[in-house]
Amino acid sequence: MIITTSDQVKEVLREIRKENDWRYQVTYITILDRQLVGEVIDGIPVKADISSK
């Protein structure tokens, strides 16, 4: 899981994929500043967002 903001999510994913020495597998994303549940960003589903409880 990645927790980030909508303006940083693509950069965070790029960095994780670039420096993946431990073979991380990102399974879903939480976006802190927008309602994006149900969206898919770079092939990874957004499963939680600012409105999630």
> How many domains would you assign to the chain?
1
pLDDT of residue 13: 93
Q: Specify if 40 maps to a domain.
A: yes
Distance between CA atoms of residues 20 and 33, nearest Å:
26
18 alpha-carbon distance from chain centroid: 15
Would residue 53 count as lying in a domain? no
Q: Please check whether residue 23 lies inside any domain of the structure.
A: yes
For residue 38, give its domain range. Answer: 2-48
**Whole-number Å distance between alpha carbons of 15 and 34:** 22
CA separation for the pair 27, 44 (Å, rounded): 7
What's the confidence (pLDDT) of residue 36? 96
Model pLDDT for residues 13-44, shown as the tens digit of each residue: 999 888 777 778 899 999 999 999 999 999 99
Does residue 37 lie in a domain region? yes
Q: Is residue 15 situated within a structural domain?
A: yes
Residue 25 in any domain: the answer is yes
